[in-house]
Every structure is written in C-alpha cells, then in structure tokens.
Amino acid sequence: MTTVRARVTILVSSAVLSLATVTGPAVAAPVPDGPAVAPAAPSVPQHVDARTKSTQPVYDYANAIRQSVYVDTTMDTDSDGTDDVIAVDIVRPSEPALTGVKIPVIMDASPYYSCCGRGNENEKKTYDGDGVIQKMPLFYDNYFVPRGYAMVGVDILGTGRSTGCGDVGGRDEIQSVVDVINWLNGRNTAHTADGQAVKATWTTGAVGMIGKSYDGTLANGVAATGVKGLKTIVPISAISSWYDYTRSGGVPYSDDYMPWLGGYVGHDSPACDDVRGDLGDNDDDDTGNYTTFWSERDYTKNASKVKASVFMTHGLSDYNVQTNHFSQWWSALSRNNVPRKLWLGLEDHVDPFEFRRDQWVDELHKWFDYWLQGLQNGVMKEPSVSIETSPDVWRNYKTWPAVNRPTSVPLSAGKLGAAGKGSLMITDDPDLTEDDIVADPTEVIAGRQMFLSAPLTAPMRISGTPSVTLRVKSDSATTPITARLIEYGDAARYSGIRTTDQSTCEGSSTDYDDSCYFTVDKLTTQSDHGIVSRGWIDAAHSKSLTNPTPLTPGKWTTVNVPLRAQDQVIPKGRVLGLAVTLSDTEWTTPNDTGATVDIDLAGSKLNVPVTSGKITAPTQLHPIDVDITTPTQRPNLHDPKN
C-alpha cells in the first residue's frame, strides 16, 4: 500500500543575497568557499548518528547555500577561440562550513536539464533573478542536503548553460564531467558568472554520480576513466556501449541517431552543426561496423580503470536501453573485482524511485553513507542482487547470473528440445509483424520458423544471456536474422506503469522546490504469451563486428544470434517457443535483403541459461488456444522522454 504524505511547503524568504551565496538571513550566510579560518571539525559531524551509523536530516534545507559556477576546460569544441566552460549548480547545507566540516558530493551530470527535464514529472532547473540555481530537479537535494551532502547538477558540454558542442557520449562530454570532479578535488579552476575565481574548499572531494538513461551513461563513462575522487556511481537504465544502443550486431535500430540526439539536447549553432555532421560522417550507419568511433563510446572495454563502486539498476522489459547494457557492464565489472550491487525490476525504462520508492530511497541512503561518508552500516554485507520476480515481489540473490554456462537445446522440425535432421527454409517477409510472428505458434506461417517445447514439468529460471546458434545457407551475401524466445500460457503479465494522483514527499521542501512526487501504479494485462527475449544479427557480422565476412551464397556457415539478457522464472506447465525470422521492420530500421535461408537442424540450437527444470520436445504438436494482445513496441529512440 502506498504511504501518502501531505505535501509540505516550507516558506522562505524569496530574497536572494547575491550570486553564489545562501538564501536566508544575511547575518548567517558564509561565503561560498567557507570561512577564511574554519574552526576544527568535530570528530563526529553533527549529521552523523554514530549509534545507527547513518546520516540524519539535521541541516536546514531552506537555508542551504545555492551556487552556480562555471568550471574551466582546455577544450574549444565550438571553435570560437575561447575554452569551453561547464555550468555547475550546487545546493549544499550552510552549517557544516561554520564548523569546518567538509562534505561529500552527489552529482547528476545531464544534457537534459534545459531541453527535456528529469524524472517522471519532467522537472527542469530554475534560477533566480541573478542566475543562481533555485530549483534542482528530482528529490536528491531535498533528501540528502539536510543529511550533510552537497547536490551538484552539471550541464554537460554543449548543453544548458555550458558552452561548447557535445559529441554524444564521446571523449569530450566525458572530459567535461571529469573537469568538474577535478575542480571539486582542487585540481581545476572555476569562476562565477561575473568572473570571480571560486574554489570548492567546502568538500571532501568524494563524489558519487547518479542518473537515469543518458545521465547514468555519463556516470559509466566517467567511472571508466578512473578519475580520482569518484567513489561510487549509481547508473539507472544506463548505456554501457553506444554501439549496442544504436544497433545489434550490425543491424541498425535507427539511422543518423547520434547527430539527431546531439542536435536535440545541444546548442543550435553552425559550429555545433559541424560537430554533429562529423558524428553522422563517422557513425558507419551504412556498414554497421564497430569502429574507433564506437570504441571511444564503449565503456566496457575500460572497466579495468574503474575505481568507483557501482550500484546499477535496470528494467528487464527495457527495450530502449536494452538489458545487454547492464549485463555486459556487470560482467566487465565482475572480471575486474569492482564492488557492485544490482537491482533488476520487471519494468521498462523506469527509475526505481517510481516503482520501489521507499526501499530505493532507504537503500540509496545507506549506499551513499557507506561510500561517501565512510559509515560502516553493513550495506556491502547485504545480498548483492535483488530481482523483481512478479509485480512488487522481490527476491535476493548472492550473484548474477545464476549460472554461467548455457544449456544447449537442440532443434527439430517444429520442436524445441529434440535433435533434428534435415533443414528448414525461411524466405524474408518484411511485412511480418511481431503479432504475426508469435500468434498461432503451431501453424505454418511463411517467413517464420517456430520451435516449441513440451509443457514444462517443473519451474525453470532463465538467468543470463540466451542466444541462438544457427547453421545456415543463404542465397545472399548477408541478411538480418531475428530470434524471439517466447513463453506461452495464459497469465497476467506486467505491461507498464500509470501515474496516480497521490504523492509522497522525500525530504525537505521550499516554496520553489518541493520534495513531493506522484506515485505510479503497475499495470498488468491478461495474455496468452510473453516475450522472454529478442535478438538481432546481421549474418555477415556474426564472427566480427569490426571486419564483417560476407556470406558465400550456397555455402553453409554458422551464425550466432545474441538475445537480450533476462532473469525470469517460467512456471510449470508453460510452453517455450523459439521464433526465427529474417528482417524486422518494427524493432529495427528496415534493411531487408529479400534473402532465402536454409537452416541445418543438426547444426542449430538454442543456448539458454537455466537453473532448474528441463526443456523437452512435445511428442506431437497441439494447437494452443491463443488470444494474442499487441506486444510492447520498441520505444522511438528519437524521443528524449525515453
């Protein structure tokens, strides 16, 4: 049941003293950098409860120091002859500086503060008449500033009030955030809007980055630089490799996405148009190849540099930032022994603040207290993985995935779980929709091959990354190949969220920045099937994303189709289906070749990571009474709200 708290508004004076100073009584206002000679800091700061080993909301949020500064860089990405500067907005408690207590930083670096807003309610930054931050989006400042943290919102390069031109996840954007962390640690310079130098003497230099989608992606990229001072990151539904965000194994999701996104979030200027033109020239949309352009935006390859701990969360239904992003990042961090924690919800591209609010705020509080305040609260002794197994039902695990070796499931004509002989043929039909493909699983449908298991005799947990190995012979030099893993059986399945008219409040409020946010309901839809995972590959890219190998028409070759990571328990009695088609005009950019492909059954298999149960083929195919509902469509990547 949702706990509903009344919206509380704390009225404060609307007067703002001056740029980069506090709101509130002038006599109590310290200068931005703290007192010239601070008294000795207490051994235990006022905001720390030594008994509970947690920070407490003891500082006055209404009297918080609000600063807007500009951090210097050595980049001139807009070619105007002046180095770019990065706009940084800060909300921090005023009391610690009076006693010489230095505090850590929670940072959300984003391109969305001006163009699109943050969170389910699309909040944007607002400023007072002097251009000093007034409202910081989301609840982080309301909740954490009274507990002895500074909240820092960074307009990344080329967005908001920063200058320059962004390169969409590239080296320059990442460096713009690194420059801010360096300033917070005394290794860089900054100034106010009127040119006065400003130092961050009020902070310990310990930084935790947090953010959803693009914001969380920046956290991943910055962590992959190994910058000193970054102690932890909390990426929410975040990209780990931009190549894998825009395409799957050479199959594009949408064309010209990188220059489009740069233009949507960035400055409208001829200089930035040139930068975005370069993005379009170098993205290799025509070939689908993984190049140095994409390597620069692949953070997994630099996981060995990560010194920060990582608390990541992702939706198992997310087909905007798909689940391969969390799985490959998690695996890379695991190989490098990075301290980490993982939450996997049923949801799609949704912040856990929306779907598991109370537990999320509590766990985030403990996580930041441990990694930024040094409080030994036992958070790292808790289970490292928490997974939503049905709406609002969560189960904890020690690790993820549950198994590392997939089970090989043979294919035969129409069957999943029995070895077959001979071959089956598919001719590309780009007009097939997903509804067509998954409906009537026992019927013969041109352009689709379906393989079905017998009803499961025991529950089966799929935990990890499935794939499909196909030995194929094509009449074309290449073709896309699409695979869908489906579970059939009537059930109520998660289908999205809906915003309610109720709200909860997380932290302190002012008349210009309240801490109250609407709650959401989880929706379910009764249906006869659910998609477990999808996957796409350009057959010529199966062996190498960098150097594709065209198929030799009429010659057999082996192609591996990677599906998306999943963790799902399939109940007893359900039937698993594997649907194989060629091009997919709904979930990818149309790239059909009209190919005809033969599948050698003896050389083909489904690779599925299971923890229990056994997949067996049916002795005979029985029609399944179906009432197909429209599946969730892939979100439009050209919609920033996604």
CA distance 635 to 642: 7
Which of 532, 530, 544, 528 shows the shortest CA–CA distance to 608? 532
Q: Quick check: is 622 catalytic?
A: no
Catalytic residue among 54, 110, 213, 542: 213
What are the b/e assignments for 472-504, b being 16+ CB within 10 Å?
A: bbbebebbbbbbbbbbbbebebbbebeeeeebb
Catalytic residue among 267, 325, 349, 541: 349
Locate 595 and state its tokens. 């190919």
Which of 489, 601, 542 shows the shortest CA–CA distance to 251? 542
Residue with tokens 């499961």: 456
Which of 161, 171, 265 shows the shortest CA–CA distance to 222? 171
Cβ neighbours of 25 (radius 10 Å):
11
Give Cα separations from 134 to 89, 223, 301 (angstroms). Answer: 9, 29, 39
What are the b/e assignments for 445-469, b being 16+ CB within 10 Å?
A: bebbbbbbbbebeeebbbbbbbbbb
CA distance 27 to 258: 50
Burial (CB count <10 Å: 0-12, 13-18, 19+), residue 255: middle
Give the pairing of strands 423-427 and 150-155: unpaired
Catalytic residue among 141, 244, 283, 318: 318
Torsion-angle region of 205 (φ positive above 0: left; ψ -120 to 50: alpha; else: beta): left
Q: Is 44 helix (H, G, I), strand (E, B) or coil?
A: coil
CA distance 389 to 393: 6
Give the pairing of strands 467-474 and 596-608: antiparallel
CA distance 173 to 175: 5
CA distance 204 to 215: 23
CA distance 31 to 21: 6
Q: Is 363 helix (H, G, I), strand (E, B) or coil?
A: helix
Beta strand segments in 539-565, E: 556-562
Amino acid, res. 547: N
Rounded to the nearest 10 degrees, what angle do helices 257-265 and 270-282 cross at? 160
Q: Quick check: is 213 catalytic?
A: yes
Q: Quick check: is 83 catalytic?
A: no
Q: Which residues are catalytic?
A: 213, 318, 349
